[in-house]
Amino acid sequence: MGTLVWRTARRLVIGVLVTAACAALASSAAADPRWRWPLDPVPELIRPFVAPTSTYGAGHRGVDLLGTPGVMVTAVDSGTVRFSGTVAGTPVLSIEHGTQVSTYQPVAATVHRGDEVVAGQPVGRLVLAASHCAPRACLHLGRRTGADRAYADPMDMFGTSPPMRLVTPYGDPPRPPVAGNGAQSNGSGELSEPVDAPVASAYGMRMHPITGVFKLHDGTDFGAACGTPVRSAAAGTVTFVGADPAYGNRVVVDHGRLRGVEVATTYNHLSSSTVPVGTPVRAGQPIAVSGTTGYSTGCHLHFVVLVDGDAVDPMSWL
């Protein structure tokens, strides 16, 4: 009798464990949805997601996936077409998937607002116009989630990551950032911030927003509104005031030797300057007004620090 009771109890326990395991797997699958790749084969990641600093702040609100003009773009998940049209001349498509929205650009859509689509269904074709990777074509895939439709990284929704290019997909590899002689590594505050504004884009390798070339961003961008006073980062002498096709209106200040190296600073994309060449300036003295001249997508200050003639990370000197 005891043996029979033990066997019955064991069967009940096993049954309960199996049922619980199945429920757990089902729950895990429901709570861990995965998107399908919108391009076939799995595309290369050209530029990753960078969360914006604020609602309208700097950032990269999606990922750029390498493609070819005319390739079919498919829905990452089942849902309802929320928008199909153009925004500022760029063909855009967005699909709502419950609490999330996927966006695709530049895509010539073959579906319309209100259409129901399933995961993997063709929804349009990739076009070259307005490509983030010009002169190559790439799909800018975005993801918004939650009640407030906050920007989120689309890569979190894929089971595996695509290969990522660390250099431009065309042409020669870019020149790497200058390592320098170590004098700029401790960030001791030798220089003061040239403008009262947050950092909008850091020093380092990036895809140029206008030319589409992957190259060294040789300074720090401060998100200053046009007309903001720009100050000299240290005492020195103005050695250049003029215009440059890429940097726009710019001012260069030579600070002589600091920490045993020759240091100069440049202030770029200015709307105007307030000092002529040869002017001695003190630290914090206004020398210009911020603007958006040259190769610029909006009002800001592009601040460059030159150590022995080579650009280094300005933040390590501020």
Q: Which two tokens stand for residue 86?
A: 């153009």
Q: Lowest mean pLDDT: which of 47-51, 137-141, 226-230?
A: 47-51
- Contact criterion met (CB below 8 Å) for 125 and 4: no
pTM score of the predicted model: 0.46
By CB atoms closer than 10 A (0-12, 13-18, 19+), residue 48 is middle
- The CA-atom distances, in angstroms, between 21 and each of 25, 32, 191, 231 are 6, 16, 61, 65
Q: How confident is the model at residue 120 (pLDDT cuts 50, 70, 90)?
A: very high
Q: Would you say residue 23 has pLDDT above 80? A: no
Q: Which two tokens stand for residue 18?
A: 């199996």
Query: 98 in the Ramachandran plot: left (φ > 0), alpha (ψ -120 to 50) or beta?
Result: left
3-class DSSP state of 99: coil
* Spatial distance between the Cα atoms of 285 and 250, rounded to a whole number of angstroms: 16
* Spatial distance between the Cα atoms of 125 and 101, rounded to a whole number of angstroms: 19
- Residue with the larger pLDDT of the pair 277 and 57: 277
Report which of 210, 205, 218 is spatially closest to residue 250, judged by C-alpha positions: 218
Q: Would you say residue 174 has pLDDT above 50? A: no
DSSP for 196-264, please give it: SS-EEE-SEEEE-TTT--EEEE-SEEE-PPTT-EEE-SSSEEEEEEEEETTTEEEEEEEEEEETTEEEE
Ordered structural domains, the chain, with CATH: 45-157 (2.70.70.10), 199-316 (2.70.70.10)
Q: Which two tokens stand for residue 231?
A: 């100050």
pLDDT given at position 212: 61
pLDDT given at position 27: 40
- Residue with the larger pLDDT of the pair 301 and 168: 301
